[in-house]
Amino acid sequence: MTKGNGKTDGVLHLRKRDLQSEDLEHELPAAEGGDESEPDPVAAAPAEVSAPSEVEKLKAEHDALLDRLARQQAEFDNARKRAVREQQEFREFAAADVIKNFLPPLDSFERALKAASPDCSDFRSGIELIYRQFQDALQKIGVQPIPSVGQRFDPRVHEAVEMVDSNEVPDHYVLDEVQRGYKYKDRLLRPAMVRVARNTRA
């Protein structure tokens, strides 16, 4: 009985020691696994640093898109204004060509008034009435006669057909008007044909 108990106690002692060794071996991996569960502050740092740079990138793209939109709107407004201006100039140019066709009859009225005899009062009154109506109609659409007689010669609106020696009018002033000139708004339809004084005493 005594020997049997000694062997049994020895076997149990060895078994217990083996179990303790196995427990230590199993505990080491558990400790390493526990360390991995904790967040690494060094590993988290790059994510925190990259976040602001991403925001700045989006903000730069946003600003670039706003700038591009503003430029395109400005270009569109300029193109629209240019188109409106070109259309207006085209209409005025077309109207100017039509108005020029009315100027020769107007010249004929003026010559008729100059040539009409004072005895033909009724005839003259009728021509004057038609002439005034003609002028009123042209003025309503923007046609204006160019002042000439008594004005200083202006090559932009006057065309000199003759230089006349005169002491009554200052030098290079319009002495007489041969054919009246007209403007349509700011556009010159035709210059006035004039005689210009040449005063050597001035």
- Tell me the pLDDT tens digit for each residue of 159-190: 999 999 988 889 999 999 999 999 988 889 99
In percent, the amount of the chain with pLDDT more than 70 equals 72
Strand partners, 160: 194
Helix, strand, coil percentages in the chain from 3-state DSSP, rounded to 5: 65, 15, 20
Q: Provide φ and ψ at 175, rounded to 5°.
A: -90, -40
This prediction has a pTM of 0.51
144-202 fold:
Nucleotide Exchange Factor Grpe; Chain A, domain 2 (2.30.22)
- The more confident residue out of 109 and 40 is 109
Which DSSP helix (H) or strand (E) runs through 193?
A: strand 192-198
172 and 197 Cβ atoms separated by less than 8 Å: yes
Q: What is the dihedral of CA 20, 26, 29, 34, to 10 degrees?
A: -90
Rounded distance between C-alpha atoms, residue 74 and residue 68, angstroms: 10
User: Domain boundaries in the chain?
Assistant: 144-202
